[in-house]
């Protein structure tokens, strides 16, 4: 599966079965969006600024950011993230939730103000 529990840091490359589930479960998702989705997950988990997205993601930082913004405007992002979580085993989901919460906490501390996780995840509710 996508999530490796090694060091409690999720692996950010989707398996084909996971991407297929996202394509089937999320309207308005395009086959070409796979690398952008993986890049968005990388930015969220790593806390890397959009402009510092490494070139090896196969999509520019501008494209990844634009896709993320589009998904948020179309209110697709919460469904996309929740559908992704449904492709994970329970331990993998917990690992992802912890990684996202850790990154959000680090971002909040770096910027000196609290940010709500919903700003990244929409209406998706995280346990823990």
DSSP code string of 29-67: --GGGHHHHHHHHHHHHH---GGG--GGGSS-HHHHHHH
99: nearest Cα among 6, 26, 1: 6
Question: What is the pLDDT, as a whole number, of residue 128?
Answer: 41
17 three-class SS: helix
Residue for token digits 């084909």? 16
Contacts of 97 (CB under 8 A, 6+ apart): 126, 127, 128
Label residue 102 by pLDDT band (50, 70, 90).
Answer: confident
Report the predicted TM-score, pTM, of the whole model to 2 decimal places.
Answer: 0.75
Summarised one tens digit per residue, pLDDT across range 51-67 is: 999 888 889 999 999 99
């Amino acid at each position: 599966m996508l999530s490796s529990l090694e060091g409690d840091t999720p692996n950010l490359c989707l398996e084909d079965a996971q991407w297929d589930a996202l394509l089937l479960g999320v309207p308005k998702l395009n086959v070409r969006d796979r690398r952008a989705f993986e890049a968005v997950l990388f930015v969220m988990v790593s806390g890397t600024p959009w402009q510092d997205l490494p070139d090896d993601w196969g999509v520019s930082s501008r494209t990844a950011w634009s896709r993320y913004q589009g998904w948020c405007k179309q209110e697709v992002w919460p469904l996309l993230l929740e559908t992704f979580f449904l492709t994970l085993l329970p331990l993998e989901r917990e690992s992802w939730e912890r990684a996202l919460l850790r990154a959000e906490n680090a971002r909040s501390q770096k910027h000196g103000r609290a940010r709500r996780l919903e700003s990244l995840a929409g209406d998706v509710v995280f346990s823990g």
